[in-house]
Amino acid sequence: MHAGMPRPSAVVFDVIETLFPLEPLRAPLGALGLAPGDLDLWFTRILRDAFALDASGTFLPFRDVARGALEVLLAQRGIAADDAAVDRVLDGFKTLDAAPDVAPAFRRLADAGVVIATLSNGGVASTRALLDRAGLQPLVARVMGVDEIRRYKPGRDLPPRGAEPRRAARAARARRRARVGRRGGEAGGVHHGLVRAAGAAVPPGDDAARRLRPGPPGGRRRPPRAGLTFARPAARG
């Protein structure tokens, strides 16, 4: 530890692109016809779409969000890919290797008596599988994922620092239900829509608002597989 820096009692790590780099997915994306730089764009869009879903009070598993973002990117590049080809890319998340400095860092923390936990935008089971494959699971005291409370980072309902995870998850769900009740519906008051292009991706900058159809009051609209993008706020009058 750095001199003068207080020793933490616990450290919570992000998982994807922190412990497990996405570089191995670059080749499978290339096999679909995407450029090397599209890996970074794809992952950025995954996070964007997850944040947008969270803002609308809607939850989808990480794999579903990743699939939608990839299908939109392929459509924008004019690339046709079947479900099996897309699944092969998504399955690559299961076989990511830990960065070389992760195991030494984990061992150093464990030797110092620091509790290690992980908090991922992915699921608990998939994170445990990655940690186990890398031989890191025995060093991790707690594996947390957004599927426990059905909120994406950096949502304010995620477990607060130092909170016992299960208790924090229950409290987060209670806070969310109370807030939803005050709003009169999970989607109430949200002026940005999540839209898809039916059969073709919405190009960046396109006025997608005209494609929106209003949903039932206070109801949820199931995000389609074709992907997500932001629509401009509808005029209020």
What phi and psi, each to the nearest 5 degrees, are found at residue 10?
A: -150, 155
Q: Using the Cα atoms of residue 183, residue 184, residue 189 and residue 192 in order, give the sign of their dihedral.
A: positive
pLDDT computed for residue 43 by the predictor? 96
How many CA atoms lie less than 13 Å away from 101 in the CB half-sphere? 1
Domain that holds residue 198: 23-95+186-230
Residue 2 lies in a domain: no
Regarding pTM above 0.75, the answer is: no
Q: Which of 147, 162, 183 is the last residue of a domain?
A: 183
User: Is 30 a member of any domain?
Assistant: yes
CB under 8 A, 24+ apart: contacts of 130-136: 130/15, 130/19, 130/20, 130/94, 130/96, 130/98, 133/95, 134/20, 134/97, 134/98, 134/102, 134/103, 135/103, 136/19, 136/98, 136/102, 136/103, 136/106
Tell me, what's the pLDDT at 213?
Answer: 37
Residue 61 and residue 28 in one domain? yes
How far, in Å, CA of 34 to CA of 25, rounded? 11
Domain count, the chain: 2
Looking at residue 157, its pLDDT comes to: 55
Report the CATH number at residue 101: 3.40.50.1000
87 lies in the same domain as 105: no
Domain match, 118 and 178 both: yes
Question: What CATH number is given to the structural domain containing 29?
Answer: 1.10.150.240
Residues of the chain with pLDDT under 50: 160-237
